[in-house]
């Protein structure tokens, strides 16, 4: 088990794990759960982490403009990110404010999306539409249906399981000074 000396050490450890989501395709941090909540029930789904940037407190995801999460984000741009890293016994929970980019501004991002991945943006009929048979849809990759979700991290909460658990919360508004929490 990782020995945590102090709060800064704990946050550094978490960021090393978050960064592996971008660098290491096998890391569970590659596939965070992204939670939106509008007037309806909260909705959680797995997304691929496309970028993470500690300097700017950002995590980036890509999605289809016509997916339900976009509707949900239009109603409430506050979202959650959850990551569980079983090898290091660490749970990471984040509150994020999501900046949705779509239209021409996403062209530079789209140019970097491999052709094999572009099929995820532009399905007909629209994602979530009821269809008669499982393959009654077509992939029609379309840059206009491509959205970039820039998640501005506001809080990070960490729980490290061990003989005695360790829990802490860090807030951007206090320049990421942490506080220990009872687990």
Ligand X SMILES: Cc1cc2nc3c(=O)[nH]c(=O)nc-3n(C[C@H](O)[C@H](O)[C@H](O)COP(=O)(O)O)c2cc1C
Q: Is 67 in the site for ligand X (CB under 6 A)?
A: yes
Instruction: Please identify, among the stretches 6-14, 63-71, 102-110, 175-183, the one whose residues bind ligand X according to the rule CB under 6 A.
Output: 63-71
Among 103, 128, 162, 183, binds ligand X (CB under 6 A): 128
Q: Closest distance between ligand X and the C-beta of residue 46, in Å?
A: 4
Q: Is 125 in the site for ligand X (CB under 6 A)?
A: no
Q: Is 166 in the site for ligand X (CB under 6 A)?
A: no
Give 122 or 127: the residue with its C-beta nearer to ligand X: 127
Instruction: Please identify, among the stretches 45-53, 98-106, 150-158, 169-177, the one whose residues bind ligand X according to the rule CB under 6 A.
Output: 45-53
Sign of CA dihedral 181, 15, 55, 72: negative
d(CA 170, CA 167) in angstroms, rounded, equals 10
d(CA 151, CA 61) in angstroms, rounded, equals 8
Burial 73-111, CB ≥16 within 10 A → b, else e = beeebebbbebebeeeebbbbbbbebebebeeebeebbe
Strand partners, 55: none
Q: Is 84 in the site for ligand X (CB under 6 A)?
A: no
């Amino acid at each position: 088990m990782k020995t945590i000396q102090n709060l800064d050490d704990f946050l550094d450890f978490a960021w090393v794990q978050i960064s592996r989501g971008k660098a290491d395709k096998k890391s569970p941090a590659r596939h965070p759960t992204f939670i939106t909540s509008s007037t309806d029930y909260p909705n959680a789904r797995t997304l691929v982490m496309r970028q993470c940037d500690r300097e700017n407190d950002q995590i980036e995801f890509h999605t289809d403009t016509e997916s339900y999460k976009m509707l949900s984000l239009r109603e409430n741009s506050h979202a959650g990110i959850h990551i569980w890293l079983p090898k290091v016994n660490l749970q990471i929970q984040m509150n994020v404010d999501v900046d949705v980019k779509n239209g021409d501004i996403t062209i530079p991002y789209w140019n970097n999306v491999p052709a094999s991945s572009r099929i995820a943006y532009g399905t007909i009929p629209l994602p979530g539409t009821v269809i008669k048979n499982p393959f009654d849809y077509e992939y029609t990759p379309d840059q206009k249906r491509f959205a970039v979700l820039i998640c501005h991290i506001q809080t990070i909460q960490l729980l490290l399981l061990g003989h005695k658990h360790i829990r802490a919360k860090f807030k951007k508004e206090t320049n990421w000074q942490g506080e220990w929490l009872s687990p």
